[in-house]
């Protein structure tokens, strides 16, 4: 009899987005006059940079000729792309990162979801609250989360955050084996300073823990003093794996390309205390269960690092960050306390009511959709998330409507 | 302390292809005159069909305009592609397969590797010998294989095959929970008849087992009486998951697109005997750990089903199958017993010596590289695999050289 992995039965159904969709549907069935503006979605809206499109066209033509046709590529990505990433993203901030420590993949969601496979099922896992739900769900599926009751899993160590902690977690007194950190954070838009990130690296070195550092939004950091990579912190190479993506940087959410850095100095341990290279384990994992990213897509990603590509990406990001500024300024003017939006495309807003109540009010009074913060974890209650991924026109119209509200 | 998943330490290092590379290197360092012809590789060589290229160009242009730009798509694939697959691949042979039972992915390697996640870790797994190594390795990583000694894992049920069984397994007397079947088989090129596949479906229904049916090479089947899909067998919808790919069909090994069919009638069971939809579990898995295939690539795959696409794909396959015929005929003329090559792009050849000895002889005397059968499992000893994925010129030259050999 084929028995299922019963850990899946411990998953809570993804209530958040289905509930949002349901409330929108109900609202629209009653109100047909005003255009709905969706300010909750973490998906890009602007076209692919011209340089990437040109590269995609050129690579497509290569696939049509026998001399330049590409079959299976290396599972860990083509050297041309890994070398560009090392030279452009790391050479200045952490020159020890070499191209063969970079694994190209089809998405950070896949990598953050799959990477836990390398670790023992009895690992103690620390997960910030609120945060991107894939870290938790992938560990629930693997069986590391235990049972769900009273709104939480009994084996997960929730790293609670609040306005006082700047919506980022500090290292706990207890020992963790694995820690997920996300900076710039989704959903709060908060970014670790070097000092706070150093505290985590020191903690991990002391406890032989591994930090899974999600830097998918690094390109939105404007303040030069804030770390864009965990490898800016001394010693991080020994204890940290970093996830990065072209999704938000260059508008690749529908084109699919990302990369994960696993330094060769980064080790896990077997029961008997022996060191094992996580780089080797991940290479083995990817060689067995992954077949590399589409060649034309890797060429499109490489174009992000051309001179034109860099300029076009900078323009894209500046556009979204201007949106963030407009949103943050308007909401602040209305007396709402905001975090994020200065070094991240998300604005995290204290509502003074519960998350869903504020969501309903915005929907009903302004036809504007946001994301209730409680959907990202218990500590998100009383907050909502605004996304800067939208056209300028939509952002301005939404803010005009909100400016007229009384609350 | 971050402890690793020690199941990874049970993996045997992938000796086969590194050993082949080593022997080629040694040979080339001593012999520089004759061009080496690689007849061992399971990767396509001919360019992408023109229809696919045109679609890729058009979709690239769509990504460059805000009105037609695509961000995140559905994790399980766009409807336009799933509908084409259902209408073209299944409507005539198993009309009950609906578009929403089709999950588009970036490769059958990923899907065959990841699908075991849905099942209990104490599942008893049946794996043919010889066969594509991902089925075994992904189960070793998960911990279902047990310990390795004397050339095999103690918890895996090896389904031994031989010339007598036509290099395909028959259902065993013992109970299995999960069974991997591959038809047309890699590496043996053998294809199940409807009768033999029915025996497996009946076995699975009787034992509430699940068949993981890898049909990556279905497009090479020439004999109309042979089943291209397991769903041609009555009752298979209840017990079988099928993997298919554009990789070999349409030359997508470097472009990356595949699909997996999970019928809604297909159930696994929890410890307490409750039925659970495998379709729902996989949807949850993919929604959590996967973000869909690149939009332009899905458009390229859809073009396989256009009139031009179908003609171009048919031509590609006819070309490779002509290669297979040439190889099989020449080797048979030389007195070697061959399986496969008539409904599959692989020819499985009995060598009369051990696999590596024959490999060395072909390399040294003809500068031709094949794949030693023992690399695919114990039962492959004494065989080699020839691949038809090559240019006609290379195939003819290799066969001319072999025709001159004395063995």
What per-residue confidence (pLDDT) applies to A41? 84
d(CA B188, CA B190): 5
Name B365's Cβ contacts closer than 8 Å, sequence gap at least 6.
Answer: B405
Q: Best interface-test mutation with A: which of B66, B136, B254 has the largest number of A CBs within 10 A? A: B254
d(CA A111, CA A278): 14
**Domain A9-47+308-403 is found in CATH 3.90.1150.10:** yes
Chain-chain contact of A48 with B71 (C-beta, under 8 angstroms): no
Residues of B in contact with A46 (CB under 8 A): 66, 69
d(CA B137, CA B125): 12
DSSP A68-132: T---S--TT--HHHHHHHIIIIITTT-TT--GGGEEEES-HHHHHHHGGGGB-TT--EEEEES--
Chain-chain contact of A45 with B69 (C-beta, under 8 angstroms): yes
Q: Best interface-test mutation with B: which of A15, A121, A254 has the largest number of B CBs within 10 A? A: A254
d(CA A94, CA B240): 49
- For residue A111, the SS3 value is helix
Query: Are the beta carbons of B245 and B216 closer than 8 angstroms?
Result: yes
pTM of the model: 0.97
Q: What share of chain A is helix, strand, coil (3-state, %, to 5)?
A: 45, 15, 40
Residue B127's Cβ-side half-sphere holds a number of Cα atoms within 13 Å equal to 28
Which tokens belong to B296?
């332009």
Which tokens belong to B222?
């020439």
Q: How far is B253 from chain A (nearest CA, A)?
A: 5
Helix (H) or strand (E) run with residue B57 in it: helix B50-63
Residues of A in contact with B9 (CB under 8 A): 270, 276
Model pLDDT for residues B168-195, shown as the tens digit of each residue: 999 999 999 999 999 999 999 999 999 9
d(CA B357, CA B363): 10
Chain-chain contact of A2 with B46 (C-beta, under 8 angstroms): no
Alpha carbon B43 to its chain's center: 11
Name A228's Cβ contacts closer than 8 Å, sequence gap at least 6.
Answer: A93, A215, A218, A219, A221
Q: What is the 3-state secondary structure (H, E, C) of B152-167?
A: EECCCEEEECCCCCCC
Q: How many CB pairs under 8 A join A and B?
A: 252
> Which of A131, A136, A77 has its CA nearest to residue A297?
A77
Cβ-based neighbour number of residue B130 at 10 Å: 26
B154: left (phi over 0), alpha (psi -120 to 50) or beta: alpha
B150-170 burial by CB neighbour count: b if 16+ within 10 A, else e? eebbebbbbbebeeeebbbbe
If you measure CA to CA, which chain A residue comes closest to B283? A8
What is the torsion angle, in degrees rounded to the nearest 10, for the CA atoms of residue B395, residue B398, residue B399 and residue B400? Answer: 120
Query: Are the beta carbons of A263 and A279 closer than 8 angstroms?
Result: yes
CATH number (3.40.640.10, 3.90.1150.10, 1.20.1640.10, 3.30.70.520) of B52-305 reads: 3.40.640.10
Name A74's Cβ contacts closer than 8 Å, sequence gap at least 6.
Answer: A292
Chain-chain contact of A210 with B290 (C-beta, under 8 angstroms): no
Model pLDDT for residues B346-369, shown as the tens digit of each residue: 999 999 999 999 999 999 999 999
d(CA B38, CA A226): 52
> pLDDT 10s per residue in chain A (407 long)?
999 999 999 998 767 888 898 999 999 888 877 899 999 988 999 999 999 999 999 999 999 999 999 999 999 999 999 999 999 999 999 999 999 999 999 999 999 999 999 999 999 999 999 999 999 999 999 999 999 998 899 999 999 999 999 999 999 999 999 999 999 999 999 999 999 999 999 999 999 999 999 999 999 999 999 999 999 999 999 999 999 999 999 999 999 999 999 999 999 999 999 999 999 999 999 999 999 999 999 999 999 999 999 999 999 999 999 999 999 999 999 999 999 999 999 999 999 999 999 999 999 999 999 999 999 999 999 999 999 999 999 999 999 999 999 87
What per-residue confidence (pLDDT) applies to B41? 84
Residues of B in contact with A295 (CB under 8 A): 254-255
The domain spans of chain B are: 13-42+308-403, 52-305
Chain-chain contact of B2 with A209 (C-beta, under 8 angstroms): yes
Query: Are the beta carbons of B133 and B141 closer than 8 angstroms?
Result: no
8-state DSSP, A375: G
If you measure CA to CA, which chain B residue comes closest to A136? B288
Chain-chain contact of B53 with A63 (C-beta, under 8 angstroms): yes
- For residue A386, the SS3 value is strand
Residues counted in chain B: 407
CA distances from A337 to A185, A325, A364, B225 (A): 17, 14, 22, 70
Cβ-based neighbour number of residue A335 at 10 Å: 8
What per-residue confidence (pLDDT) applies to A30? 87
> How much is the ipTM here?
0.97
**Domain A52-306 is found in CATH 3.20.110.20:** no
Judge if the upstream peptide bond of residue A130 is cis by omega within 30 degrees of 0: yes
Chain-chain contact of A56 with B53 (C-beta, under 8 angstroms): no
Chain-chain contact of B289 with A110 (C-beta, under 8 angstroms): yes
Name B30's Cβ contacts closer than 8 Å, sequence gap at least 6.
Answer: none
A150: left (phi over 0), alpha (psi -120 to 50) or beta: left
Query: Are the beta carbons of B189 and B321 closer than 8 angstroms?
Result: no
d(CA B199, CA B63): 48
Q: B13-42+308-403: which CATH architecture? A: Alpha-Beta Complex (3.90)
Residues of A in contact with B253 (CB under 8 A): 71-72, 291
Q: Best interface-test mutation with B: which of A3, A203, A277 has the largest number of B CBs within 10 A? A: A3
Q: How far is B272 from chain A (nearest CA, A)?
A: 10
What per-residue confidence (pLDDT) applies to B84? 98
What is the torsion angle, in degrees rounded to the nearest 10, for the CA atoms of residue B247, residue B250, residue B251 and residue B255? Answer: -70
Main-chain dihedrals φ then ψ at residue B29, nearest 5 degrees: -65, -25
What per-residue confidence (pLDDT) applies to A33? 77
> Which of A18, A15, A24 has its CA nearest to residue A369?
A24
Query: Are the beta carbons of A303 and A52 closer than 8 angstroms?
Result: yes
Q: What is the mean pLDDT of chain B?
A: 96
What per-residue confidence (pLDDT) applies to B406? 87
Model pLDDT for residues B57-111, shown as the tens digit of each residue: 999 999 999 999 999 999 999 999 999 999 999 999 999 999 999 999 999 999 9
Which residues on adjacent β-strands are paired with residue A269? Answer: A275, B3
d(CA A236, CA A210): 10
What per-residue confidence (pLDDT) applies to A406? 87
8-state DSSP, A215: -
Dihedral sign (CA B42, B233, B377, B335): negative
Chain-chain contact of A254 with B391 (C-beta, under 8 angstroms): no
What per-residue confidence (pLDDT) applies to A65? 96
């Amino acid at each position: 009899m084929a028995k299922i992995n019963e850990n899946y039965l411990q998953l809570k159904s993804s209530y958040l987005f289905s509930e949002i969709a349901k409330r929108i549907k109900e609202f629209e069935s009653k109100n047909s006059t005003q255009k709905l503006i969706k300010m909750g979605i973490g998906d890009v809206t602007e076209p692919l940079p011209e340089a990437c499109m040109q590269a995609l066209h050129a690579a497509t033509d290569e696939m049509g000729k026998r001399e330049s046709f590409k079959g299976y590529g290396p599972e860990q990505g083509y050297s041309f792309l890994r070398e560009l990433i090392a030279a452009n993203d790391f050479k200045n901030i952490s020159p020890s990162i070499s191209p063969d420590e970079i694994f190209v993949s089809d998405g950070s969601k896949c990598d953050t979801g799959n990477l836990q496979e390398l670790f023992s099922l009895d690992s103690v896992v620390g997960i910030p609250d609120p945060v991107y739900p894939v870290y938790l769900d992938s560990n629930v599926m693997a069986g590391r989360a235990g049972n769900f009751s009273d709104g939480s899993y009994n084996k997960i160590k929730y790293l609670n955050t609040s306005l006082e902690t700047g919506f980022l977690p500090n290292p706990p007194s207890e020992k963790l084996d694995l820690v997920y950190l996300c900076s710039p954070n989704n959903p709060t838009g908060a970014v670790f300073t070097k000092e706070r990130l150093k505290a985590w690296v020191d903690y991990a070195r002391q406890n032989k823990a591994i930090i899974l550092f999600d830097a998918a939004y690094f390109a939105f950091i404007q303040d030069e003093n804030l770390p864009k990579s965990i490898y800016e912190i001394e010693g991080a190479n020994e204890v940290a794996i970093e996830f990065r993506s072209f999704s938000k940087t260059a508008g690749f959410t529908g084109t699919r390309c990302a990369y994960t850095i696993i330094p060769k100095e980064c080790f896990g341990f077997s029961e008997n205390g022996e060191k094992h290279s996580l780089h080797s384990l991940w290479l083995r994992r990817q060689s067995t269960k992954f077949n590399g990213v589409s060649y034309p897509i890797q060429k499109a990603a490489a174009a992000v690092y051309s001179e034109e590509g860099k300029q076009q990406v900078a323009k894209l990001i500046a556009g979204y960050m201007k949106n963030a500024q407009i949103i943050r300024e308007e909401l602040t003017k209305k007396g709402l306390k905001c975090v994020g939006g200065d070094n991240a495309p998300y604005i995290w807003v204290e509502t003074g009511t519960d998350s869903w109540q504020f969501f309903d009010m915005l929907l009903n009074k302004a036809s504007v959709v946001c994301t209730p913060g409680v959907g990202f974890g218990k500590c998100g209650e009383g907050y909502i998330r605004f996304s800067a991924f939208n056209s300028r026109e939509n952002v301005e119209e939404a803010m005009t409507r909100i400016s007229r509200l009384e609350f």
